[in-house]
Structure 1
Amino acid sequence: MKTPVFIQLHHDSAEHIRQELVLGLTANPQPGGATVSPKFLYDALGSRLFEAITELPEYYPTRTEAAIFKAHAEVMARVVPPGATLIDLGAGNCGKAAGLFGVLAPSRYVAVDISVDFLRATLASLQRQYPALTLVGVGLDFSHTLALPPEAGAPDAGPRLLFYPGSSIGNFTPAQALVFLRQVRAACGPVAGSGLLIGVDLVKDAAELEAAYDDALGVTAAFNRNLIYKLNRLVGTDLRLADWAHHALFNHMESRIEMHLVAQRDLTVQWPGGRRAFSRGERIHTENSYKWTVPGFSQLLREAGFAEPLVWTDAPTVDAGRFAVMWAGA
């Protein structure tokens, strides 16, 4: 049986993280105000809360995408190159990719997440299930730059299948998404048959979107408000849970869901070396999730250098879909 290989490329010091968070907290109130990157939502507790979110009746993306893969997996297997290196961006627990091993039959699996520590137990378990499969865990923050190590698969190892499910592309602005997709296109390499398999959440009724990010049980609120504990721990802020409420809204102009923490009273947040006053109702912007149309995202893929994508949705016609999975050849 083979042994997984682990490569940690991302090394953020505690001071660098603190500086990034302070920069967001002190951002100019106009036009955007204070911000925290959504990547900070996913500490140990945040990741468990997100797993709970995916089980909620209001949160459609995870189960809708899974249904698309189940319904169209055999067709996907005919267009995705057999024996490819499957590179899973934001792998997490690796469950989505592993669920496709049987139909996609990769020769190598590369799980990419911000820390290889998140991947060790999962890849050890996968190795026992697939003893002949080469497994590589890469610790990389690709929200800045997608720079894969040679161990991710040299050109002579065959085609590369970049896998980015779950509509995580929605965390990027359209301009950022284009930059990222161009990096993904470059990461596909020169080998014929390489490409990207990606999940994309589509524009739909605002009430359905807002419910998915503000559920009746309050799990998403807990997921968002967990940032208060994290800021206190990493920055030394004196934020109080009772002072901040979760708020989600669909911004029609930007075609995105926004998540915010909203101050419930006038207050001043202090930390070693700094402070910021917040008026009642002022917000800390914690996440965007852009929603796309099939034509709009197809155009973005073409601009990034991909071929015209193949599209599968949860509806009989593509235009009626609520969620899409796209294969874009490089």
Structure 2
Amino acid sequence: MSYTTVSKRDSNKPVLHDYHPAPARFQEDILVGLRKPQRQIPPKYFYDEVGSQLFDVICQLPEYYPTRTEIELLEKYGEEIAQCMGVNDILVEFGSGSSLKIRLLLDNLQPDAYLPIDISKAHLFKSAKILAKDYPQVAIHAICADYTHPLILPKNFKEGVKSGFFPGSSIGNFEPKEALQFLKQIALLLGKGSGLLIGVDLKKDADILNAAYNDSQGITAAFNLNLLKRINRELQGNFDLDSFKHNAFYNDSKGRVEMHLVSQKKQTVSIGEYIFEFQAGETMHTESSYKYSVDDFQKLAQAAGFYPKQVWVGEEALFSVHYLCL
């Protein structure tokens, strides 16, 4: 991984580390995905500045229960979670987004340093600056990077007691084998004696799941279609957004919600010099969101080298928060 120049920290500003993936990687991932028999777009590319803003709106929708229920758990059990996690010098958050949930941990844990990691540069840096003002006692080092790839923390933070925070059930966006590999990657980054607080969405009635990913206001549809806007803008694509439609559904046999973009007609699309032919009804698979039982997720965590120490589950068993030890 190549490293860029880091701005100097003063008393009112966070330190910003910009390891944002090169545009060539975005193009390569899109071209590879669209050449597969089942066309795919990696969900990490949802999160440009507009996509991140749309996701913040999704988190407030009445149908979208994960954010609401996870925050309820963090609020209700905040002191218990802090006691479970113990003393932490360094708190590392994967996929920090707008950093709403982290405030509940910062209030209770009071770490020396907080390292948010996110691929959406503008969103990350804006949130880091706000947090730096609100938590002047915490050294904030914002890292713009693709956290799905192996990372190296800034040299000042390789030592010390660390805890990871991976909220929002983003672990469900990985295929099961990829989820195992990612958890192993986190374990290697954090090191022995550290821990991970992670949000995990639970298996539940399909009607609840389908409503959560097909909101009545069409925000999730706009979030999905924004992928095509981004490809048009950054990769010289010519997707006609009116010719594609959002579709999301719970696939019971695979235990996951799937999001697709469906071609509404036979059409030709170009991305720069590359041409793709779409048939009517053909889809691009943009996201999977796997749902777990508590036992199934803990078995996955154990296979990655973690020891499940505690789990908190909401009253309606919609969502769970796990603390895993190394």
- Report the CA distance shift for 1:160/1:231 in structure 2 as closer, same or farther (over 3 A): same
- Report the CA distance shift for 1:90/1:8 in structure 2 as closer, same or farther (over 3 A): same
Structure 1 segment 1-330 matched on structure 2, within 5 A: 1=11, 3-12=13-22, 14-27=23-36, 29=37, 33-114=38-119, 116-151=121-156, 153-155=157-159, 157=160, 159-190=161-192, 192=193, 194-315=194-315, 321-330=317-326
The separation in 2 between residues aligned to 1:236 and 1:125, in whole angstroms, is 34
Deviations along 1:105-150, one digit per CA (max 9) or x if unpaired, are: 2121111112554333322222222222211111221112233232
Question: What percent identity do the matched residue pairs reach?
Answer: 39
Question: Residue 100 of structure 1: SS of its match in structure 2?
Answer: helix
Q: Which amino acid aligns with 1:17?
A: F
Question: Residue 63 of structure 1: SS of its match in structure 2?
Answer: helix
What is the TM-score when the length of structure 2 is the normalising length? 0.92
The separation in 2 between residues aligned to 1:218 and 1:303, in whole angstroms, is 38
The separation in 2 between residues aligned to 1:63 and 1:273, in whole angstroms, is 44
The separation in 2 between residues aligned to 1:308 and 1:83, in whole angstroms, is 18
CA drift of 1:86 comes to 0.7
Contact 1:203 1:255 in 2 (8 A): yes
Q: Which amino acid aligns with 1:323?
A: F
- Report the CA distance shift for 1:201/1:136 in structure 2 as closer, same or farther (over 3 A): same
- Report the CA distance shift for 1:180/1:270 in structure 2 as closer, same or farther (over 3 A): same
Contact 1:209 1:257 in 2 (8 A): yes
CA RMSD of aligned residues (A): 1.6
Contact 1:22 1:235 in 2 (8 A): no
The separation in 2 between residues aligned to 1:36 and 1:22, in whole angstroms, is 9
Deviations along 1:60-85, one digit per CA (max 9) or x if unpaired, are: 00000000111111111111122431
What is the TM-score when the length of structure 1 is the normalising length? 0.91
Please list every run of 5 or more consecutive structure 1 residues that lacks an aligned counterpart in the other structure: none
Structure 1 runs of 4+ off > 6 angstroms? none
The separation in 2 between residues aligned to 1:105 and 1:88, in whole angstroms, is 14
The separation in 1 between residues aligned to 2:42 and 2:99, in whole angstroms, is 23
Contact 2:258 2:289 in 1 (8 A): yes
The separation in 2 between residues aligned to 1:44 and 1:3, in whole angstroms, is 21
CA drift of 1:279 comes to 1.3
The separation in 2 between residues aligned to 1:304 and 1:8, in whole angstroms, is 29
The separation in 2 between residues aligned to 1:206 and 1:147, in whole angstroms, is 39
Aligned pairs, number: 316
